[in-house]
Amino acid sequence: MAQAKLLLQELKKHHVTHVVGLPDNCSAGLFELLGGDPDIRLIRITREGEAFALAAGLWMGGKTPVVLIQNTGLLESGDSLRGTVLRMRIPLLCLITYRGYAGMMRQGLAGISVDLTADLLSRPDLDSTALITEPTLKAWGLPFVFFQDDEDLPRVSEAFQRAEEESRPIAILITRDLT
């Protein structure tokens, strides 16, 4: 299982100053740790679209922010992401919890190109947000990697480095609850 404590240590290693986000069940463990941490300021938002504008302002002010939202909120925040951090080429790490990923895995739909038909998107046993998360990220030109367990911690450093080198946001899709 992915441990929130290890992820927090990784964020500190990269001198993150702020985490901007909206908690969900998957990220609750990390939000709890951040709420009591003196080194990283947690900024809770009411809508995910706010996260990218706030993170952009923090970055412009010389800070090192990270956005932490759920994939449902990613869809809500698309215009803010596109019009601000992508357009301004802000090197921002985006931690995105992947609601519905386990259900896709059980149905054999994860990691493959799926024809997103009305029948598939309306199936009650699948979360339609999960089905469109990766295609949406690809359409927006937002590179992503997966964070499934503690062995994936090096991907955080790799994502920070890539964001800096390419001067663009990079997403890490968190597929399991952070405990």
| Tens-place pLDDT, residues 42-55 | 999 999 999 999 99
In the predicted structure, residue 111 carries a pLDDT above the cut 70:
no
Residue 1, pLDDT > 60, answer no
137 HSE (CA, 13 A, CB side): 23
26-40 pLDDT, tens digit per residue, is 999 999 999 999 999
3-state secondary structure of 131: helix
pLDDT attached to residue 108: 87
Give 114's pLDDT tier (boundaries 50, 70, 90): confident
- Domains of the chain, by residue range, sit at 4-174
Q: Are 107 and 113 in contact (CB under 8 A)?
A: no
Q: How would you classify residue 14: left for phi > 0, otherwise alpha for psi between -120 and 50, otherwise beta?
A: alpha
Q: Which pLDDT score, from 0 to 100, does residue 112 have?
A: 58
For domain 4-174, the CATH architecture is 3-Layer(aba) Sandwich (3.40)
Q: How much is the pLDDT for 84? A: 94
